[in-house]
Chains A and B, each alone.
Chain A
Amino acid sequence: MGEGIRDELTEQIINDLTIQAATVNGSGSQTANLVLTRAIFHMGIPVAPKNVFPSNIEGLPTWYQLRVTPEGHMARSDKVDILVAFNVATWREDLKTVRRGGVVIHEEAFSTADVRSDVVYYPVPFAKLAKSKIQSDTLRKQLANMIYVGVVGGLLGIPWEALEHAVRRQFLSKPKAVQVNLDAIKIGLDHWQDNFSKQDPYRLEPMTGAVDGRVLVEGNQAAAIGALMGGVTVVAWYPITPSSSLCENLIAYADRFRIDPKTGERRISVVQAEDELAAVGMAIGAGWAGARAMTSTSGPGISLMAEFAGLAYYAEVPVVIFDIQRIGPSTGLPTRTSQADVGFAFTLSHGDTKHIVLLPGTVEECYEFARDAFDHADRFQTPVFVLSDLDLGMNLWMTPEFKYPDKPFDRGKVLSKADLERLAGDWGRYRDVDGDGVPYRTLPGTDHPAAGYFTRGSGHDEFARYTESAEVYQQNMDRLALKLETARAALPSPVVDETARSAVGLIAFGSTHAAVVEARESLAAANRPVDYLRLRALPLASEVVEFVSRHERVYVVEQNRDGQVYDLVRLAVPAHLVDRVKSIRHYNGQPIPAAAITQPLLESEAVPA
């Protein structure tokens, strides 16, 4: 290490650092990462973990980034403070990612010839320690990662109590594993204490008040809880990363909360379908018959669902479709994140089709939007897409504890037997009685001679009778458009923060939110505050146009190549405002960091517009 660096390092850096563990997939590293995360969280310090994993079961490199900030920043950081290098295959590349003055904990056996001189090294003989101290051959591989938790604990001053808590929490369902894991952590901790003296500035200190009332939840867990509380009773799905964990969690929760302990009856039916065509078809069949039904998938599955989505739109059948976005086109990068299905999902299917799309931007919204999606679907008798993504769905996020729903289910305009008696059978399935485009429906099984009707994806009149009439077709399409207009006003409205009173505004949605929050803070700190509109649903709310009209330049920030929402915003604003709308895009599959917003924004703003 050069002398200059040593001088720079005299000032302590407390609770503000990013740890990156570079390990090998399938080696048990994820458990170690989670224990470290929970231990730091238990100290009252905000954490933001991001798991970057390969489409592979065992052997390929994987990284876990754990960002710690006193402010609770949740976006990915592009600067690594502490590297834990466990994977010889990526060692050289990983080393390049560490910031000047950062820390490198690495397997002692890795070659250190010609390495950087501007970082602090702590070589640890992980393999030797595991071999000599862990007797069980079967456990050794898994526990080896746990040793690094002990080393990092020593390095940063994590109290033993926090580590112990984290291990117990991690192994709630496997209490037998607690002691062996603690023992492995102790090996690392002892090794640190016996062999190293601290040469770096990084420290953790317990905080109070920063994470009160917060829990750590993955977006897919949150959505599963939301679906459960939203009253889902029929779930059909086909496995695909990064969506599988949504239904898998839902199944686990349903096993706990939806089985009648006396009769063994299940108040939910979950079908693992043969493909996504069948999955969405089952959900639509169930929605038609009156159940709250859903499916969950990712890009390739959404592609397969296109035809059925059009049927549900045109025949007006409620259904909730989760799309946990990953990178496309095609199989793309199956374990990397993106927001590139927005445009496709919005108009999924042939013909003039348009859908309600909910865009949760936080884990709390994953819960709330999943729950409320069933109300929207029932109320507007149409598919509702909930677009999350891999970053939001598969990473743990700090979130306020979820609120218990304060409303009963809204089952929409469903006519009962008594309603039909009152109407003396004067009822048309697709008649717009209320002028809001939303007709009344009956459910199969309703015991009234006028209840039955024939649902079809072909042309139909107000009484659901087949017709090829030009006028009737057009009227029906206009009513469907009106229905979406009605829905637009009922969907979650944008969250607008104009406290900056700036000429420049940002528009973003979904998981990009975390990076925007941080970008705004750093822009404000640099005397360049910007206003912000966070979009939460499609079709675009009217507030979007108003927001653009109040700002001279508005940057739409999104995680796709083509600026899909940028296009929608430009289409929505009047011609004289179109040029105000600019685009910032991030689409390399890694969650967007704040710098990916501030840099292009400052560059663009430096040039007179």
Chain B
Amino acid sequence: MNMIKRFKVSFSKVFKKLFKKKGACIGIYGPPNAGKTTLSNRILRDWVGGEETMGSVSHIAHETRHAKRRNEVTIETNGHTISLDIVDTPGLATKIDFHDFMEQGMSDSESKKRSKEATEGVIEAVKWLDDLDGVILVMDATENPYTQVNVTVIGNMEARNLPLLIVANKVDLPDADPGVIKEAFPQHPMVPVSALEGVGMDSFYEALAKQFG
């Protein structure tokens, strides 16, 4: 990004802060099966209550195939209150092979349908990158963090000069090593959580308020 464009982005951020634009729009990104929808559901459970969820979860990749936006989620932490619009996005991927879904027990037609919808979901997720005020990047703490999806999302936020919070998810699993994620991307804040078990969520909300409040 050139100097003029960066100045425009910075000015726009200062302007928004001065006039307190309501509900910064934050996208939840990551590769398939990293736990984005589980985290989104956990946020809604903690701050919206009731039965509302962002979407269903499954062990089969690309369960979320359409972005879902929830406006004005109000989070209170450490005496601060922030209101965010949260977008749960489909998992980003560079390849989608319907045979992978068949291996999970889906029929040929079901697999092809999911594959088609998943490709549309990835396109939708990429388009959302242009309309966000920041990103929560969910990584699976049991896997190598140097995936192209992670590198691309982080690069996009850095080039746009927008805030990013990395969530090292699945710390309840024995193979989890959030330290590897911190080491890989030391320039961004990282919080270890288990969205499924609700571990580390207080630290997550504090980091969320600090980064996007």
Tell whether A pairs with B: no
